[in-house]
Amino acid sequence: MAPPVNIIVGSHVWVEDPKEAWVGGEVSRINGEEVHVQTKNGKTVVTHISKVFPEDTEAPPGGVDDMTKLSYLHEPGVLHNLAARYELNEIYTYTGNILIAVNPFQRLPHMYDTHMMEQYKGAGFGELSPHVFAIADVAYRAMINEGKSNSILVSGESGAGKTETTKMLMRYLAYLGGRSGVEGRTVEQQVLESNPVLEAFGNAKTVRNNNSSRFGKFVEIQFDKSGRISGAAIRTYLLERSRVCQVSDPERNYHCFYLLCAAPPEDREKFKLGNPKEYHYLNQSSCYVLDGIDDSEEYAATRRAMDVVGISDEEQDAIFMVVAAILHLGNVEFAKGEEIDSSVIKDEKSRFHLSTTAELLKCDPKSLEDALIKRVMVTPEEVITRTLDPASALASRDALAKTVYSRLFDWLVEKINFSIGQDPNSKSLIGVLDIYGFESFKFNSFEQFCINFTNEKLQQHFNQHVFKMEQEEYTKEEIDWSYIEFVDNQDVLDLIEKKPGGVISLLDEACMFPKSTHETFAQKLYQTFKNHKRFIKPKLSRTSFTISHYAGEVTYLADQFIDKNKDYVIAEHQDLLTASKCPFVAGLFPPLPEESSKSSKFSSIGSRFKLQLQSLMETLSSTEPHYIRCVKPNNVLKPAIFENFNIIQQLRCGGVLEAIRISCAGYPTRRTFYEFLNRFGVLAPDVLEGNCDDKVACQMILDKMGLAGYQIGKTKVFLRAGQMAELDAKRAEVLGNAARTIQRQIRTHMARKEFIAVRKAAIRLQSYVRGISSREIFEKLRQEAAAVKIQKYLRRYIARKSYSRVRLSAVTLQTGLRAMTARNEFRFRKQTKAAILLQAHLRCHIAYLYYRSLQKAAIVTQCGWRRRVARRELRNLKMAAKETGALKEAKDKLEKRVEELTYRVQLEKRLRTDLEEEKAQEAAKFQEALHAMQIQLEEANARAIREREAAQKAIEDAPPLIKETPVLIQDTEKIDSLSAEVESLKTMLLSERQAAEAARKACIDAEARNAELTRQLEDAGRKVDQLQESVQRLEEKLSSTESENQVLRQQALTMSPKALSSRPKTVIIQRTPENGNIVNGESKVTSDLSLSISSAREPESEEKPQKSLNEKQQENQELLIKCITQDLGFFGGRPIAACVIYKCLLHWRSFEVERTGIFDRVIQTVASAIEVQDNNDTLAYWLSNTSTLLLLLQHTLKASGAASLTPQRRRTSSASLFGRMSQGLRASPQSAGLSFLNGRGGLGRLDDLRQVEAKYPALLFKQQLTAFLEKIYGMIRDNLKKEISPVLGLCIQAPRTSRASLLKGRAQANAIAQQALIAHWQSIVKSLDNYLKIMKANYVPPFLVRKVFTQIFSFINVQLFNSLLLRRECCSFSNGEFVKAGLAELEQWCYGASEEYAGSAWDELKHIRQAVGFLVIHQKPKKTLNEITKELCPVLSIQQLYRISTMYWDDKYGTHSVSSDVISSMRVMMTEDSNNAVSSSFLLDDDSSIPFSVDDISKTMEQVDITDIEPPPLIREHSGFGFLLPRLE
């Protein structure tokens, strides 16, 4: 970073701050080299001028997405830009083609879902917001297009998010190149699932990160020629083996140990494990559990991941058995033995763990004990066995544990690679490097040395890449860069790895000598590198050394370098585990070759690691690198905390600042000609007024400013460090002068305005004074006139008052006299009237007394007579009461019978299922009762007749004693008794007749009620029958659709004519919830699936259709196919081809035959016609024909298997009462009275079409036609999408204003620019008009036209809205005005197209309309969250509103976005949504499905009358097509 120039008083600068690293301020005073800065936090800082850096006051408040666009590319500028973006949750930022990823420490699922992947797929680099997907996409596209391998290097310190970033990279690459692998597992799935396995065994909690990778990983993803993943391989580097035995507090050991201790009880019992606190290798730290992590669930997840990567259950058990053995081994302790320098097992607890370890490793416990505490030395003379002291025995134990764990980890990596499989034929790959970042702790050991050595290597590669990118940029712009120096760190690498004499070489040399110690090793380093500028000897230490790395100085403790560098397995350990009875353990330690076991060749960790690193660098050098630098914003691992010092250190360690230094060595500031002229055109307005091009104008401005060393490229201006600040200073001076001129004019204007105001006030004051004087004179005159008027009115009042008093006296006197006379007259009349009234009342009273006496006498007489009559009537009633007893009994019986009948009728009503039987029984009972009553009546009549005859006979037989003998008293009595008996019999007969008549009436009433109930029941039955018919039709329709879908849908577009014509007559119907009783795979003959009542539907059509077509029919079919291949056009808005095809198929009875080829011929004709996908006229023609033909088929065809495919519950309904009542109605033919289409018949509208029982080919034809309708619709829609897609990219962002707008003629230039802007939208409107015209010309149903434009407008909405959210330059005020104007064009088109064709298309733009409305609204900071979400943008989600609010910038008026309180409220709501598992994706998804069904077409399309369709000339005169001619009435 070059020292700043042109720092003047008033300049905005960055100055160092002890708390915030850098703080902004304004220069208040300059004393030579001293600068006084007034900072934003209120402090005054005095510093050297070389330590302040200019601040860009015109930088966007939300930062820039590419830091190469910064006007000042220096450390504070980079830091401020990252902080501004991090505050808005923008965690990704570019620096050229390098991606900086700041860990948000919170889940942001919307940034990594499938919608986001689709947006970045194929998008140009830098076109969308920075993202890890963009880096992966660039690597993938480069690999596909150039055929060269690529690599992505992910680096950063522990906790920066390297592992998560690597996961996202691999997910995206799997999304781009995913393909199914062997045995149902995909290669990409295995690669992704290898992460949990390697994390479990290679990651651990550190001070800085809960899931820190303690090894380096390079994943090679191999691709085939088509860009699909074909294989993968994983390489690992430098596993931190020492962590197995040594853990610092509060860190943890590797995750797998804790996962195994949290395993299910049966697994823990198998491995004899307990609480983690019981094991020495784990209880060295007090941390056992991670916040938010359930180790038992992680254990199960690790097991599942092992299954995916191909590790068998036996191997998994063996792996965890080895892990458990390491834990038990760590609890083995040693005590001093009886002999000198000897050791023994300490106690029984240690003995138990020793035996458990031996049991798990399946080796001999005694051999294990000897391997830990004894060493065998082989000499030429003898074999010597010596024992180890307790300290050495513990070291031996730890060495065994580390060796076993290291071998286990290597086996896992090898197994994963073997399971995934590598593609030997792959020519290209993408490597993802996830490796530890630069580390510098309080105490640094051998692991940090290797890690930093790796980062030095990678930094050199990174520097070379950055310099190469700089060279390519300069070369592309054709500028001279030969004198730019390149900063290299080769001297540090030589210090570490050079042979001989490097640190690693000296370390290996020290390891080869038994008597070497860390002190001797340190002294060797001091002697060798005492003059090296990168090597520093600490003053107060004898075993430490400091190396000056690119990221800073790091002091290493050499105490354990020698021990950790040794990489050999103790022979006793090797022999012990090689002899293990467990094949897995023995496989980890294969027997060494005899020559290698005898050889004493030395092997070290450092040398092996150097070779691995060399191999890695060769791989990276052969690929095109891409860099991702992960940054940890704070050490507390919490969101929304940005620690500046921490970030600065990581930027240094990550090499970002080094890259900036490389850029500053050349031309750090690059501006396009437009941007340069737009910013610095004010320095030379005369240049802008000329007609020279932009490049010459830039050259003239720079020459006028007197700058040297700059370069003018083909499209950009390249400025040296400091030149931007110099131009800005001169620009600030010009703007300052302009400001002073404006101020002078403003002050003049204000002074004149004040003078005019004073003068105006004086004039107004004078007018007020004159007005007051005039008003006083006027008031005096007015008072005089008023006094005269008052006097006049007073005199008139007095005179009138005197006159009124005299007149009142006269009137009063007259009134008194007249009143006295009137009172006398009134008194006389009153007395006369009172006398008359007294006389009238007296006469009335006398007459009334006389009337009352007469009335009383009459009442007494009447009462006596009525009493006499009543007594006589009483006697008669008593006599009659005795005779009505029998009638009452009969009446009660009849009433009971009537009640019983009523009850039975009601019971009948409730039990409808047995109504007819009950009806018959009741009728029989009524007949029987009536018959019995008639019999009783006849018997009573007969008995009465017999008695009458007997009495008559007795009278006749009696001797005529009247004439001859005196009358005997006994005979007379007998006659009287007989006569009385006859009378009684008559009375009984009469009563019986009356009872019979009453019973008959009751029966008639009951029958009438029964008839009424029967009529109501029949009405209800008819209604039920109608409902059942409706249900039947729906069920038949449903079952027909089900059968068609199950059998035909999958073959709709792919079946060949031969396959169709040779298809057997059976249909295989799978069991589904809809067709309940059909067994899986059961074969039903189609003819058996027809309705049982089909024979009763059309008796006239009993004859079966012919099973084969004769030659005449073949000729007719050929002629029909030849005819429809031509464009037949339309007749009265109806497609002729569809109508002709339908009439021919119906006449030939093709729908009812089992085998025919005509359907496939028609389908082939349609398929061949739409092969040219870009011929929209042809597509629209066939869309109209297929929709019309499908409409006709929908109203004609009926699946023959509909009845038997319906659910079982339909059959059970026939057993009920309503089923029996409606059977007859259902058996009636639905098509009764409809004529069959033949040579003499014809068809009318759809209502007149008869339904036919469709066979299998007809159903298949209908499904194929449906599929082709959907395909043609999709082709038209997709063609329109393809046509407008390129224009949509230009419609989302307003083109930059030309240089002419920078001059005085801004209005005219803006008018021209506005016309150019609207041109893109007008091209879209033109495309819409063209498609609408084509579809109207081909009479496409308006329903389908509406669906096309609705989906097109939805596509426009999705594309514009997603682009708006992903590109910050689109979220500006002027761009909102531009898009709003374009949307107005679309709205105008919708009005012009009418609702019939446009439908609800305009409503589909609701997202982009509301977003644009938000962009162009004024006074955003005053809007509350409720106003925004409820009134302005009710459709937009909180995530979308937050995205727009944070990305918004006003490039026209310089206003701000919504207030910080609203932003904070949005963040809270977003956090709640993420906690509630609510989808937080802010992108919209385009719906490319078919938005209609066949039923929708049949419901919305108008009826088609096909009677008057004229046949085409080709077949009009043919005798076989005479039925097509319209009938003459």
Which letter does DSSP use for residue 1429 in this model? I
Catalytic residue among 93, 103, 165, 209: 209
Question: Is position 431 annotated as part of the catalytic site?
Answer: no
Question: Is position 209 annotated as part of the catalytic site?
Answer: yes
Helix (H, G, I), strand (E, B) or coil at 280: coil
Which letter does DSSP use for residue 1234 in this model? P
Rounded CA separation 1343/1490 (Å):
13
What angle do the packed helices 885-910 and 969-1048 form, to 10 degrees? 0
For every residue of 1373-1403, DSSP letters joined together read HHHHHHHHHHHHHHHHHHHHHHHHHHTTTGG
Rounded CA separation 378/268 (Å):
42
Buried b (16+ CB within 10 A) or exposed e, 1010-1035: beebbeebeeebeebbeebeeebeeb
Catalytic residue among 149, 158, 210, 440: 158
Report CA-CA distances (Å) from 1365 to 127, 129, 487, 832, 1324: 12, 9, 39, 113, 22
Which letter does DSSP use for residue 244 in this model? G
182-186-189 Cα angle (round to 5): 145
Catalytic residue among 71, 163, 426, 1350: 163
CB count, 10 Å around CB of 993? 13
Rounded CA separation 82/526 (Å):
42
Cross-strand bridge partners of residue 548: 553
Q: β-strand 383-387 against 374-378: which pairing, if any?
A: antiparallel
Alpha helix segments (H runs only) across 346-386: 348-361, 365-373
Tokens of 1460: 């910080």
Rounded CA separation 1006/897 (Å):
10
Question: Is position 41 annotated as part of the catalytic site?
Answer: no
Catalytic residue among 129, 165, 195, 213: 213
For every residue of 168-195, DSSP letters joined together read HHHHHHHHHH----GGG--HHHHHHHHH
Rounded CA separation 647/643 (Å):
6
Question: Is position 548 annotated as part of the catalytic site?
Answer: no
Q: Is-contact 509 561, C-beta < 8 A?
A: no
Interacting residues of 853 by C-beta distance below 8 A, sequence separation 6+: none
179: closest CA among 229, 136, 137? 229
Question: Is position 621 annotated as part of the catalytic site?
Answer: no
929: closest CA among 896, 886, 957? 896
User: Does an H or E element contain 827, and which?
Assistant: helix 723-883
Catalytic residue among 24, 62, 330, 437: 437
Cross-strand bridge partners of residue 604: 566
Secondary structure of 652-673 in HEC code, one letter for each residue: HHCCHHHHHHHHHHCCCEEEEH
Q: Is-contact 439 451, C-beta < 8 A?
A: yes
Catalytic residue among 55, 193, 369, 439: 439
Report CA-CA distances (Å) from 14 to 49, 50, 381, 1262: 11, 11, 78, 75
Backbone angles phi, psi at 287, to 5 degrees: -95, 120
1270: closest CA among 1134, 1162, 1170, 1159? 1170
Tokens of 654: 């990550």
Catalytic residue among 25, 77, 156, 159: 159
Side-chain-side CA neighbours of residue 1414 (13 Å): 36
Task: Kindly state the greatest CA–CA separation across the chain.
Answer: 192
Question: Is position 439 annotated as part of the catalytic site?
Answer: yes
Order the strands of the 535-536 sheet from edge to edge: 535-536, 544-549, 552-557
Provide the annotated active-site residues. 158-159, 163, 209, 212-213, 437, 439
